[in-house]
Amino acid sequence: MTDADAPGETARKWAADPIGDVPDLHGHRVALRPVTDVDAPALLAILAEPGVAAWWRRAEWDQVTEEGAVVFAIAVDGEIVGCIQFNEETDPDYRHAAIDIFVADAWQDRGVGSDAMRTLIGYLTARRGHHRLTVDPAVANERAVHVYERLGFRRVGTMRAYERLADATWRDALLMELVVGDPR
């Protein structure tokens, strides 16, 4: 067995590979491109839509472009219709990526979110070397949970009192994961 074939070698290689320049990604219908400040008005307007605001308490631009996240605008035929982002844990013993996404109300139930997720999943697994991905939708967000399950994510457990809402109450979230090669 060569060093390149040693268990964990791929994880060590990727852990040492900083994100650097983030490429544009292309799915079946969507284009994902790194978000810029020019995208702020469109994305903030989407965050204010009822179907998005119910689940995303992130109306400030600095929270959309949070430190450590790699953030993409989701576009269909040049129109910004949402946002998808990921964070990486690069410690080779715990390596994984966490994904967050929101899609404009008018573009929900049209396959846009699923296409964006598949596109980012492909990038994270094939080009960034991740074997495990997580999402953490609100337990009550049945639409999102259903989409993630169709994409192959499995329920891991409920994270109680996970997210504080505008009225200072807490809601539970569901930890879900997709493990590459999971026979289930």
**Least trusted range by pLDDT, from 5-19, 58-72, 100-114:** 5-19
Structure confidence at residue 67 (pLDDT): 79
What is the Cα–Cα distance from 40 to 59, expressed in whole angstroms? 10
Integer CA distances (angstroms), 72 to 3, 62, 88, 101, 169, in order: 35, 14, 15, 9, 30
Q: Of 158, 184, 157, give the one whose Cα is nearest residue 172.
A: 158
Q: In CATH, which of 3.40.920.10, 1.10.3720.10, 1.20.1110.10, 3.40.630.30 is domain 3-15+22-179?
A: 3.40.630.30
Domain ranges of the chain: 3-15+22-179
Percent of the chain with pLDDT over 70: 85
Q: Is the pLDDT of residue 112 over 80?
A: yes
Task: Tell me the average pLDDT of the chain.
Answer: 87
Structure confidence at residue 15 (pLDDT): 40
Using pLDDT thresholds of 50, 70 and 90, give the confidence band for residue 42. very high
Structure confidence at residue 173 (pLDDT): 96
Structure confidence at residue 17 (pLDDT): 47
pTM over the 0.95 mark: no
Q: Is the pLDDT of residue 99 over 60?
A: yes
Structure confidence at residue 68 (pLDDT): 85
78's enclosing H/E stretch is none
Q: pLDDT tens across 125-150, in order?
A: 999 999 999 999 999 999 999 999 99
Instruction: Name which residue leads in pLDDT, 29 or 168.
Output: 29
Using pLDDT thresholds of 50, 70 and 90, give the confidence band for residue 167. confident
Extract the tokens encoding 28: 């079946």
